[in-house]
Amino acid sequence: MSNFFPRWANWLPLQILICVLVAGAPVTLGIWYYFTPKYTRVGYQPIQPVPFSHALHVKQLGMDCRYCHGFVEVASHSNLPTTQTCINCHGEGKILSNSPRLAPVRESWKTGQPIPWVQVHRLPDYAYFNHAVHVNRGVSCYSCHGAVNEMSVVHEAQSLSMKWCLDCHRAPENFLRPPSEVFNMSWHPVSLARQMDIGTKLKQEWKVNPPVSCGGCHR
Amino acid sequence: MVRYFLLLLIILSVLVIGMAGLRDYSFLPHRTSRPPIEIFPDMVRQDKVKAQAPSSFFADGRGARAPIPGTVPIGYHSPGTPDSAVMGGTYDVVLFSGNADYANTGKLGTNWGNGLPFAATPATLQRGQERYQIQCAVCHGATGAGNGIATKYGLVGVANLNQQRLRDMSDGEIYNTIVNGKNTMLGYGANIQAPDRWAIVAYIRALQRSQYATIADVPADQRALLTGTNPTTLIKP
């Protein structure tokens, strides 16, 4: 019996191995890059029933976050405003009272049914985040929600992954700001060194000691 | 053959990057209206009601429930306790009573009352200022002149808080206006807690005084600050 396999077949296993390795590198890179919350959650921008623009209301009109999210300082969740809060300004005979874009608001006001806003930032149900303790200790809205005052449509700006939470819990001085500036979305320290100065001082003054054990956030 | 393999690899990579985009901070930010994929959602999304979330358990589809008449949530004071006694001097108390007493209604008997139901301190005024600027200044303006930003966008009929009628108005009636609204203004009772409403009343009083202030109202040792070197801060008596 003569040669069953041609001579080049001797190199075939090696060639296959090299191809798998060469193909494996981009696959690994792709998973590393795309299969984390930095990609899967950041940039989530649901279509809302009313095209409410934070850029208009906060940046242009200068409204405070707490005009609508009024109980963020006392409640565990940052409340969505009641329909009445919208109607305060957009009610009959008031601002843009006939705009078709506000039709769901008027409908809700008439029927008493809530506006079905789509939640953008959604933590897992086993993570217990408390807004009040964060904003009362100098963690700005900006730190977790990004520059909402620049967003005409809100999107998720941070990954909200556990690693991301712990980055701040382990070194809060990198993010703490004066209590008067927590709701000021355009307040930014002039430099990293300045942030460290402010943050370290506030951390000591208020004895900020964020939990890094499991029980801090998972019950 | 190797050449085809590499070519295919490059094409596939470009295709994936082209379709998926890049992370947010890059030049090709990734935006999607599709909810994030959750591979094992069984613990991530539990059968419990979170704040302001819908729930199929109740007929109206809402997870948030209105208080049942005659009940008091845990941590709140019972309706029998007078609000003014509960309130003390602090702002931490949330009233949940529907009590008919002054701190909750602004009424003494059948008439509007005057004065705060707790001792006013500089902190009260600071709190009132903060709350006023959040909730009221949008329409009434920072000084109460009725010229807030909303009036620049077509809101009409906003009251000037410094007019004589409102300077003469009793504290209780201002409090009641904050809670229940008046004319075209809707009530802010659902947005502002009771102690804060009183703090706002106190601050409105401060605004009203400030608008009619003369140099004689400034303590003698501080007048120099106003009439001093900077002409822009000069206040003529």
Chain B residue with minimum CA distance to A42 = B24
* Closest chain B C-alpha to A193 CA, distance in angstroms: 23
Query: Is B197 inside a domain boundary?
Result: yes
A164: tokens are 């991301």
User: What confidence tens digit (pLDDT) does each residue in B192-202 have?
Assistant: 988 899 999 99
- What is the structure's pLDDT at B237? 39
pLDDT band at B77 (very low <50, low <70, confident <90, very high): low
B159: tokens are 């009251």
pLDDT surpassing 80 at residue B71? no
- What is the structure's pLDDT at B92? 46
Nearest to A119 by CA among B65, B203, B51: B51
Does any CB of chain A come closer than 8 Å to the CB of residue B78? no
Over range B211-221, report the average pLDDT: 85
Mean pLDDT of chain B: 83
Query: Is B193 inside a domain boundary?
Result: yes
Query: Is B162 inside a domain boundary?
Result: yes
A15, A37, A47 ranked by CB distance to B33: nearest? A47
Number of compact structural domains in chain B: 1
Does any CB of chain B come closer than 8 Å to the CB of residue A9? no
C-alpha–C-alpha distance, residues A115 and A130, integer Å: 24
Does any CB of chain A come closer than 8 Å to the CB of residue B28? no
Query: Is B92 inside a domain boundary?
Result: no
Mean pLDDT of chain A: 92
Full domain range(s) for residue B158: 99-215
- Are residues A67 and A73 in contact, defined by beta-carbon separation less than 8 angstroms? no
The answer to whether the complex's ipTM is over 0.95 is no
CATH number, domain containing residue B125: 1.10.760.10
Query: Is B109 inside a domain boundary?
Result: yes
Does any CB of chain B come closer than 8 Å to the CB of residue A127? no
Q: Which residues of B fall within a CB distance of 8 Å from A76?
A: 51
Name which of B155, B180, B200 to mutate to probe chain A: the one with the most chain A Cβ atoms within 10 A of its Cβ.
B155
C-alpha–C-alpha distance, residues A20 and A13, integer Å: 11
Contacts (Cβ under 8 Å, ≥6 apart) of A54:
A148, A149, A151, A152, A154
Name which of A88, A125, A153 to mutate to probe chain B: the one with the most chain B Cβ atoms within 10 A of its Cβ.
A88
Lowest mean pLDDT among A20-29, B62-71, B83-92: B83-92
Chain A residue with minimum CA distance to B64 = A114
- What is the structure's pLDDT at B228? 62
Q: What is the pTM of this model?
A: 0.86
C-alpha–C-alpha distance, residues B201 and B176, integer Å: 10
- What is the structure's pLDDT at B98? 59
Over range B209-218, report the average pLDDT: 86
* Closest chain B C-alpha to A162 CA, distance in angstroms: 13
A44, A79, A87 ranked by CB distance to B52: nearest? A79
C-alpha–C-alpha distance, residues A183 and A141, integer Å: 6
Chain A residue with minimum CA distance to B155 = A94
* Closest chain A C-alpha to B54 CA, distance in angstroms: 9
Name which of A94, A123, A131, A151 to mutate to probe chain B: the one with the most chain B Cβ atoms within 10 A of its Cβ.
A94
pLDDT surpassing 80 at residue A144? yes
A15, A62, A79 ranked by CB distance to B149: nearest? A62
What CA–CA distances, in Å, run from B114 to B125, B132, B211?
17, 19, 21
Query: Is B208 inside a domain boundary?
Result: yes
B105: tokens are 């209604």
Over range A196-218, report the average pLDDT: 93
- What is the structure's pLDDT at B37? 85
pLDDT band at B235 (very low <50, low <70, confident <90, very high): very low
* Closest chain B C-alpha to A26 CA, distance in angstroms: 7
Chain B residue with minimum CA distance to A24 = B9
User: What confidence tens digit (pLDDT) does each residue in B149-191 have?
Assistant: 999 998 999 999 999 999 999 999 999 999 999 999 999 988 9
User: What confidence tens digit (pLDDT) does each residue in B32-62 have?
Assistant: 899 988 888 888 999 888 999 988 899 988 8
CA count, 13 A, side-chain hemisphere, B179: 18
C-alpha–C-alpha distance, residues B106 and B127, integer Å: 19
Query: Is B176 inside a domain boundary?
Result: yes
A61, A70, A85 ranked by CB distance to B149: nearest? A61
Chain A residue with minimum CA distance to B49 = A125
A145: tokens are 């929600």
Between B83 and B49, where is the model more confident?
Answer: B49
Q: Which residues of B68-79 are buried (b: 16+ CB within 10 A; e: fewer)?
A: eeeeeeeebbeb
- What is the structure's pLDDT at B107? 86
* Closest chain A C-alpha to B30 CA, distance in angstroms: 5
Q: Which of residues 32-51 of A touch B (CB under 8 A)?
A: 33-34, 37-47
C-alpha–C-alpha distance, residues B41 and A62, integer Å: 39
Between B72 and B203, where is the model more confident?
Answer: B203
pLDDT surpassing 60 at residue B97? no
Between B44 and B88, where is the model more confident?
Answer: B44
Q: Which residues of A fall within a CB distance of 8 Å from B188?
A: 88
Over range A187-208, report the average pLDDT: 92
User: What confidence tens digit (pLDDT) does each residue in A84-110 have?
Assistant: 999 999 999 899 999 999 999 999 999
How does DSSP classify residue B112?
Answer: E
* Closest chain B C-alpha to A157 CA, distance in angstroms: 8
C-alpha dihedral over B167, B168, B170, B174, to 10 degrees?
A: -40
C-alpha–C-alpha distance, residues A137 and A134, integer Å: 5
A33, A66, A87 ranked by CB distance to B186: nearest? A87
Phi and psi angles of residue B166, each rounded to the nearest 5 degrees, phi first? -80, -20
User: What confidence tens digit (pLDDT) does each residue in B126-149 have?
Assistant: 999 999 999 999 999 999 999 999
Query: Is B87 inside a domain boundary?
Result: no
